[in-house]
Amino acid sequence: MTSEKKQNNQLKWRLNPGYLIERGSDLESTLIFFGRFLADRSSQDPLPEKTLFSEQGTFEWGEIPPLEKVINSEEDWQFILQNPQIFRSSLFIIEPWDHVGINELSETVRASKNIAFIAQKIADCDSILFPVWQTGTLNLDSVIPILSASMAVILEGGNASVHNPTEWTYPNCSRENMLTLVEHLLLSRSPQSAPVIMICVSHQLAAESNIRLLQNAVNDVINTEKNSRDEDDEALLCLKAICEKIRSVGENIKIEKRDGRIVAQGWNDINFSVVLNEDKEIAERHLLPYKTPKAKNSMIPIELLEAHQVMAHEYEGIIDRMILEHGRDVAISMFHYDEVNEESILFANWAYMALHNAIVPHRYIIAGSHLSWLLQLPYSVKILASTEANGEILTECSCTCINYKDFETNKIRRSFTCQFHPELLNDLREIGKRPEPSYSELKESDGIRLLIRLLYHGMQE
């Protein structure tokens, strides 16, 4: 694309957020409309009746508003930097792949369009597309602060496997590039920063990134010989003791499938976090609240099980709340072949909590050292739900809540990951290849209500 074409493309971007409302939209109005959407299943659309499709009946990224905001180059990124009002009142949607899979109609599904449609239709909330499979991740030192200053960041799914690097075939975005991006996002959740929601393969990338971050933390601590501000080495000795234990447990934990197969041994195994699922899940499934395994029936170390039970008792899950409100199971669209290993998340939760608690009494020393990045790690990871079909659990870890606890106030901030696709209706089609859904149709979808609930709560923390 020539510089003249790039400039013309940028001039088509709306500088004032909002498309349906004449005065525009902002964080407060978005939250109000999200809250209205979640209040019941029968209220009328509070926004003006206006199609989001083009005059030709299409709905495609990069064509006309409201889908004109697409990062195609470094120049587009610089344009955003010069116009902060664009990103401060928008969702950022990141695509690791050009589609999330192929449905039963043999259609590729670009689900990012569904997210953009849902946010605009429900709350007149703009979206910015960042297709990293095409552009690469650009300069993360510049990218991450802007993503964090938006209203929310949503990482979409993709058609590659996290446990198979050879499947990441786009030259601008390898598996390593995506893991580095996700690791930076996991470390970026600070007070008033944007929540991150990671879907399908991004849920899997988050699971792998949790383990990589913990490995980096353990290695950094163990390889530290001296901290000049830690005169009696009290802080370092405490951290090294817990890191040695984390490493020992991580190296010895096994990943066992429901049929008794051992598919991974230790946290250095490429299948430790993600592996091929026993069965494909390309259909509507029921979400059930996750139940921590009983110690007598599991190979998982008992301290991991107890840590998850303690943490789950402290923080109510959004899935649990939805089921209580509805009085029935939550129906959701699954569209995947791989799954995140339950043991990996239980291990990450235990290790994060142990590391956080070890840091607390020494945080003043650590904050002034080269280990200060440890303060940005999550506090815990809670498994929220499993999927069920015909009375059998198919995916134990189908949704997680990543908690961050402020060291001074103990306030909790959250980001979320989900194996399922809450943005897809039960036909598993992308908006534009199916008729434009109405407000009432969106209200009836459990998945879309869950997506809005995750955004609604995350954006207020």
Structure tokens of 79? 């344009």
pLDDT confidence of residue 267:
98
Say how far apart CA 87 and CA 457 lie, in whole Å.
19
Q: What sign results for the dihedral spanned by CA atoms 133, 139, 144, 145? A: negative
Distance CA 162, CA 205 (A): 6
d(CA 277, CA 419): 12
| pLDDT at site 22 | 82
Is the peptide bond preceding residue 46 cis, with omega within 30 degrees of 0?
A: no
What is the domain range of residue 32? 3-458
Closest CA to 301 of 241, 261, 260, 256: 256
Beta bridge partners of 336: 281
Q: Rounded CA gap, 387 and 356, in Å?
A: 30
Closest CA to 334 of 286, 383, 290: 286
State the pLDDT at residue 69.
96
Q: How far is CA 176 from CA 124, 134, 138, 200, 239, in A?
A: 35, 15, 14, 17, 28
Structure token digits, residue 441: 């149709």
Contact 284, 332 (CB under 8 A): yes
pLDDT at site 63 = 87
Q: How many domains are there within the chain?
A: 1
In this prediction, residue 286 carries a pLDDT of: 80
Contact indicator for 287, 399 with CB cutoff of 8 Å: yes
Burial of 299 (0-12, 13-18, 19+ CB in 10 A): exposed
Is residue 84 a contact partner of residue 149, using CB atoms and an 8 Å limit?
yes
pLDDT in tens, the chain (461 residues): 455 545 555 558 999 999 999 888 999 999 999 999 999 999 999 999 999 999 999 999 998 999 999 999 999 999 999 999 999 999 999 999 999 988 889 999 999 999 999 999 999 999 999 999 999 999 999 999 999 999 999 999 998 999 999 999 999 999 999 999 999 999 999 988 999 999 999 999 999 999 999 999 999 999 998 887 877 888 899 999 999 999 999 999 999 987 788 999 999 999 999 998 766 666 677 888 889 999 888 899 999 999 999 988 877 667 667 665 665 577 777 766 789 999 999 999 999 999 999 999 999 999 999 999 999 999 999 999 888 777 778 889 999 999 999 999 999 999 999 999 999 998 999 999 999 999 999 999 999 999 999 999 999 98
Here the CATH number for the domain that contains residue 311 is 3.40.50.880
